[in-house]
Structure 1
Amino acid sequence: MQHYFSVEEPGLFHVFSISHLLVLGLFLILVLLLYLGRGPLRQPARSRAVRYSLAGILILCELSLNVWYVWGNRFDVRDTLPLELCSISLYLCVFMLLFQSLAIFRIVYFTGIGGALQAILTPALSYPFPHFRFIEFFAAHMAIILSVLYMLWVQGFRPRLRDVGITMIFLNILLVLILFINRLTGGNYMFLSHKPQTASLMDYLGPYPWYIVSLETVACVIFLLLYLPFALKNRKKGSKNHNSRSYEI
């Protein structure tokens, strides 16, 4: 049993290995089930149960991770503080779910889906299945995305185009703060000091520090792509309203 919780890295995680592909398949099934069940989940009691369950999963993931750090004498201010973008999105998701906050949704829709999806596809992970860290990592990141999609499909929350700019401002304020903390602790939070050791999107974005500028551009493009379905829907709705008014005239 201790093998599954050991802080010693038992073996390097391999991207798109069988275990990774199975997790991605499970994630797609959960997303599909959430979408297909969005109607029944709007019933108040069910809606409340799902919100609290998702918040509970996120809290459990974060608590268990920190207990594991302390238990294994692994806690280190250089790399175990909750200062990665996905960790910050996790905390935001908990508040969003508990308080049904539209303001938080309009940020975490972009940071949560954009960041967690990239993390799931190319994980910066050193522990393969069935290690605790593997399970916790994917459970937390999948729950982040599912929480945002839940608020989107069940609660009916929607992002606005201006929220792309607001999220970019939020990220840049965060970037300055994290750079200061990295200097203070010698850490590499949000990979602002150097690239991760495992394969990731950053491998294609140039050397340090230029990949940070590239990341800003990539983030903006990803956020715009995430908003695109709503832009197309609004345009289609506007076109229908225009045609209806023309017919009435």
Structure 2
Amino acid sequence: MTALQLAIRHKSFARADGELNAIENIEIEIAENEFVAVLGPSGCGKTTMLQIAAGLDNDYAGSARYADGLKDRMAYVFQSPTLLPWRTVRQNIELVFSNPQAHADDIASVLEAVGLAGSEDIYPLQLSMGMQRRASLARAFVLRPQLLLMDEPFVSLDEPLAARLRDLLQTMLAGNPASVLFVTHDWREALSLADRLIFLSPGPARITGELAVSLSRRQRSNPAELQSFRDANEHLFQSG
């Protein structure tokens, strides 16, 4: 079953010196519980594409179609943790519910899962960046999403911490399967997580290729295996 069908024929931005074309003729279909990573150079339009998929930007030519009820079970993890600094970790997570008290057990459970049990009453600015990103994951997963949109959620982290958060993401998806559209410019991250890769050109973004990732979990954790898989498909990685 198709979870998300995204068709962006044209997306542009007005500038003082004329129109900036951001995206041209992108079509993406994501199956139920499929993890799709979108790779492309910085500034190519990946975030714009994700905002359209989330319904945050409706000023474009095209369409975004969701499986029945899926848009109501969607979560978005931004590049920055986007936590409100005047609210504690728990209060930031409570914001996604109209009646947080009815979901107290769910909130406690997800905080335990991301390793933030005991940090519920700490304010974001008192947390490390890694802890802030874990709080953002908790806020997304407490809704038990069926569609998860992620915009370079581990960017700027050192590799050991990024690897731990990727493992955490995989663990949480194992417990709560979801269709994932994941934006990154890091090919190693994409290969370690995704079922399928989509490659975008420099702006205006166009799809230059797709690749199914036929690597086992063991191979995905082996840098040499990742490099070997990339080398075998170098033409695609170089196309964006």
Instruction: Please say which structure displays the higher CA radius of gyration.
Output: 1
Q: What TM-score do the two structures reach when normalised by structure 2?
A: 0.28
Q: What TM-score do the two structures reach when normalised by structure 1?
A: 0.28
The one of the two structures with greater contact order (alpha-carbon pairs below 8 A, sep at least 6) is 2
| Structure with higher helix content | 1
| Structure with higher strand content | 2
